[in-house]
Amino acid sequence: MKKILVIDDEIAIRDLLELVLKRENYLVQTADNGTNGLKEFNSFKPDLVLLDLMLPDYSGYDLCREIVKNSAIPVIMLSAKNEIIDKVLGLELGAEDYLTKPFDNRELIARIKVVLRRYDTGDQAQNDDTNLIKCDELEINLETKRVLKGGNQISLTAKEFNILETLSKRPQKIFTRDELLEIVWGYDYLGDSRSVDMTIMRLRKKLEEDSDNPKFVKTIYGFGYQFGGDSN
C-alpha cells in the first residue's frame, strides 16, 4: 500500500482528503502546518506528498523546495491560487503537479495515480544488464530508478531522474530544451524551457564534482544537452 502525506492547515480539507484517499486504499498521515509536516515526512516516509501552498508557518514553495532537495519523493501542490505564474513557480521548484482548489476528487485520484506510476521505484532489483547504464563511476538502474556514484546512492527527484534517463539512453544524441520539456514534462506543461535549465542545474549539483565543468550532463552550446563520459 502506498503512503500519502497530506500537509494542509484546513481541517475540512485534511479530513476530506483522508477519507477519499483511504477509500482508494492508500495509507494516509496528515499535518496541519509545515513544521509538523516535516516531522511526519521524516517519520512516516510517504511515497507522495499533497502540499498546500498557503501554510501558517511555512511557504509551501519553500517546503516543496526542501522536500525535493533532500529526497526523491514526488509532491503535488494544492492551492486556491489559480494564476499561471503560481503554477509555473510550483512546478519549476520541483513539484510533480499542481491542482487548484476546489478540485474534483476523481481528478485528484487520477493525478495521484499518474504521478505514482511515473515514479514507481519498484522493489525488486534487476540483474538484466539492459536496465543498467554505467558511465565511469556512475551507475543508473533504469528499473529501480536508483543512481549510484562511486557506490554511494544519489537521491534524485522524478524529473531529475527522467532527464538523466533520457540523456543516458542515447548518449550520442543532443537533446534540445524543447525536446526534454516535451519528454519529461509533457506536451501540456504550462511552463517554459527554463524548467529544463533549472532541473539540470540541480541535477549537476548532485552528480558533478564541478558543476561548472560537468562530466556527465554536458551543455552543447547553441543546441542543447548531451550525456557525457565513457558509458557502457
CA 160/CA 142 separation, integer angstroms: 13
Q: Is the four-CA dihedral 122, 127, 129, 134 of positive or negative sign?
A: positive
Domains of the chain: residue spans and CATH: 3-118 (3.40.50.2300), 129-227 (1.10.10.10)
- Read off the pTM: 0.60
**E strand segments, the chain:** 3-7, 27-31, 48-52, 75-79, 97-100, 132-135, 138-141, 146-149, 152-154, 217-220, 224-227
Digitized pLDDT (tens) for each residue of the chain, 232 residues in all:
899 999 999 999 999 999 999 999 999 999 999 999 999 999 999 999 999 988 999 888 889 888 887 777 889 999 887 777 777 777 777 788 888 888 899 999 998 988 888 766 443 333 345 578 888 889 998 878 889 998 888 988 888 898 999 999 888 889 998 888 888 877 555 566 788 888 999 999 999 888 788 889 999 988 899 998 554 4
- Three-state SS for 73? coil
CB 129 within 8 A of CB 143: no
**Per-residue model confidence (pLDDT) at position 101:** 87
Q: Is the four-CA dihedral 75, 81, 82, 84 of positive or negative sign?
A: negative
